[in-house]
């Protein structure tokens, strides 16, 4: 049978339907391929993008926005851009959203609830279509918003009770696995240095730490769990606290990379050698851990994966399908991986 489809040539006014007709696809499939939806297989996506590039297809964003009452903008709210825990995930999410035709408005909360609330209100005043947020508070301030409630996906932290979808690393599993590893080296007096108690990251990592100890028949002493901030200063304070306990720990699990940085600095200043005098491990694996002396044992968090999944989930919500919006909120926990390096050693 003769193929009656006409090959497209660049005209400057190619429509979505023209690409669909050439490829023998529906316009909805072409649209979803160009906007990055994960339910389009890679072969189809590649064909669509190649055809669009060949004719220099440019979506009419203004017309689309007017039809759908959308601004084609997304808000992203992060505690800061210094900590790679936030910036790596956000960078991946921004790339996915940009490929889908969305501009991004960024708001920095500095992990303060009032700053976060003000930033969220500003984003809503600008009528963003959706928001990715790393919550600074235990309760997301948007949970009580009724005008109507915005489309939100939480990134790398989750609020309580769960009102919005969240995509997070499996912090509890990571802390549990790391604690079990330290126990396998013979350590029984293990200290934990975490962040603020109201954050899901701290609660889940502390829970995994305690669960790991209990799996070995150990009861964690309350003084062995130090909760401060996710900062190097807090890491220093944690070491000072833990080393002044009547029973000093032989190993320390740092609940974040900046905490680990401060802990290593304080141990050096105190004249203690890692791992000869004390072992240290970390939740999170920024690049500097692999070049520190000694290289730091870490639980690598899937930050690129959380950014990717959160962005796709928000795109799904913004697509307007009722099934996507009516689904109960879910917390998607993505596992990481244990990386054994030289900062941990068998107890002597």
Residues of each domain in the chain carrying CATH 3.40.50.2300 = 67-169+303-334, 171-301
DSSP letter string, 250-297: SEEEESSHHHHHHHHHHHHHTT--TTTT-EEEEES--GGGGTSSSPPE
Residue 7 has pLDDT above 90, yes or no: no
| Least confident segment among 90-94, 176-180, 238-242, 318-322 | 318-322
Mean pLDDT, rounded, for 43-53: 86
Rounded Cα gap, residues 348 and 26, in angstroms: 67
Share of the chain above pLDDT 90, in %: 67
Mean pLDDT, rounded, for 118-145: 89
DSSP 8-state code for residue 6: P
pLDDT tier for residue 170 given thresholds of 50, 70 and 90: very high
DSSP 8-state code for residue 161: S
Mean pLDDT, rounded, for 323-348: 89
| Least confident segment among 17-31, 222-236, 316-330 | 316-330
Q: From its phi and psi, is residue 129 left (phi > 0), alpha (psi between -120 and 50) or beta?
A: alpha
Per-residue pLDDT reduced to its tens digit, 50-85? 888 887 776 654 445 444 567 899 999 999 998 899
Residue 13 has pLDDT above 50, yes or no: no
Answer for the pair 272, 244: CB distance below 8 angstroms, yes or no: no
Helix, strand and coil percent figures for the chain, each rounded to 5:
45, 15, 40
pLDDT of residue 57: 73
Which H, E and C letters describe 192-255, residue by residue? EEECCCCCHHHHHHHHHHHHHHHHCCCCCCHHHEEECCCCHHHHHHHHHHHHCCCCCCCEEEEC
Per-residue pLDDT reduced to its tens digit, 184-200? 999 999 999 999 999 99
pLDDT of residue 188: 96
* Highest-pLDDT range among 132-146, 164-178, 210-224: 164-178
- Scored b (16 or more CB within 10 A) or e, 250-260 reads bbbbbbbbbbb
Rounded Cα gap, residues 66 and 72, in angstroms: 10
Q: Would you give the distance in Å from CA 257 to the centre of its chain?
A: 15
pLDDT of residue 321: 62
C-alpha distance from residue 234 to each of 50, 160, 172, 241 (Å): 51, 25, 21, 10
Alpha helix segments (H runs only) across 295-337: 303-318, 322-326
Mean pLDDT, rounded, for 159-183: 96
In CATH, the number for domain 171-301 is 3.40.50.2300
| Phi (first) and psi of residue 304, to 5 degrees | -65, -40
pLDDT of residue 63: 47
CATH class of 67-169+303-334: alpha beta
pLDDT tier for residue 22 given thresholds of 50, 70 and 90: confident
Neighbours of 174 (CB within 10 A): 27
pLDDT tier for residue 220 given thresholds of 50, 70 and 90: confident
| Least confident segment among 59-63, 114-118, 154-158 | 59-63
- Does domain 16-59 match CATH 1.10.260.40? yes
pLDDT of residue 315: 94
pLDDT of residue 59: 63
Mean pLDDT, rounded, for 299-319: 95
Mean pLDDT, rounded, for 277-303: 96
Q: What's the whole-model pTM score? A: 0.79
pLDDT of residue 2: 39
Residue 112 has pLDDT above 90, yes or no: yes
pLDDT tier for residue 278 given thresholds of 50, 70 and 90: very high
Residue 14 has pLDDT above 70, yes or no: no
Share of the chain above pLDDT 70, in %: 88
pLDDT tier for residue 35 given thresholds of 50, 70 and 90: low
Containing 20, the helix (H) or strand (E) segment is: helix 16-23
Q: Which residue has the tokens 């990715």?
A: 132
pLDDT tier for residue 6 given thresholds of 50, 70 and 90: very low
Higher per-residue confidence, 212 vs 65: 212
Q: What is the mean pLDDT of the chain?
A: 88
Tell me the β-bridge partners of 332.
167
Two structure tokens written together for 60: 């009419």
pLDDT of residue 232: 96
Answer for the pair 26, 69: CB distance below 8 angstroms, yes or no: no
């Amino acid at each position: 049978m003769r193929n009656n489809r006409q090959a497209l040539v660049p005209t400057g006014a190619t429509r979505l339907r023209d690409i669909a007709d050439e490829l023998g696809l529906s316009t909805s499939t072409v649209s979803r391929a160009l906007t990055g939806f994960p339910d389009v297989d890679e072969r189809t996506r590649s064909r669509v993008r190649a055809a669009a590039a060949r004719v220099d297809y440019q979506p009419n964003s203004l017309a689309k926005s007017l039809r759908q009452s959308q601004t084609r903008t997304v808000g992203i709210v992060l505690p800061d851009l210094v900590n790679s825990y936030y910036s790596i995930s956000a960078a991946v999410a921004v790339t996915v959203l940009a490929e889908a035709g969305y501009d991004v408005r960024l708001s920095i909360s500095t992990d303060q609830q009032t700053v976060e609330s003000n930033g969220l209100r500003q984003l809503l005043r600008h009528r963003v279509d959706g928001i990715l947020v790393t919550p600074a508070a235990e309760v997301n301030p948007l949970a009580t918003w009724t005008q109507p409630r915005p489309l939100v996906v939480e990134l790398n932290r989750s609020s309580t009770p769960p009102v919005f979808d969240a995509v997070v690393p499996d912090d509890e599993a990571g802390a549990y696995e790391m604690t079990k590893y330290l126990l396998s080296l013979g350590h029984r007096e293990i200290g934990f240095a975490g962040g603020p108690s109201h954050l899901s990251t701290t609660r889940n990592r502390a829970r995994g730490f305690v669960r790991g100890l209990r799996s070995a028949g150990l009861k964690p002493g309350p003084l062995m769990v130090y909760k401060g901030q996710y900062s190097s200063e807090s890491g220093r304070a944690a070491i000072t606290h833990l080393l002044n306990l009547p029973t000093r720990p032989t190993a320390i699990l740092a609940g974040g990379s900046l905490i680990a940085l401060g802990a290593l600095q304080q141990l050096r200043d105190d004249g203690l050698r890692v791992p000869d005098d004390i072992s240290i491990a970390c939740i999170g694996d920024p690049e500097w851990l692999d070049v520190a002396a000694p290289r730091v044992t870490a639980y690598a968090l899937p930050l690129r994966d959380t950014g990717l999944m959160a962005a796709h989930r928000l795109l799904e919500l913004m697509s307007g399908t009722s099934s996507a919006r009516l689904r109960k909120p879910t917390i998607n926990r993505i596992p990481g991986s244990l990386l054994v390096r030289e900062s941990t050693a068998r107890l002597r």
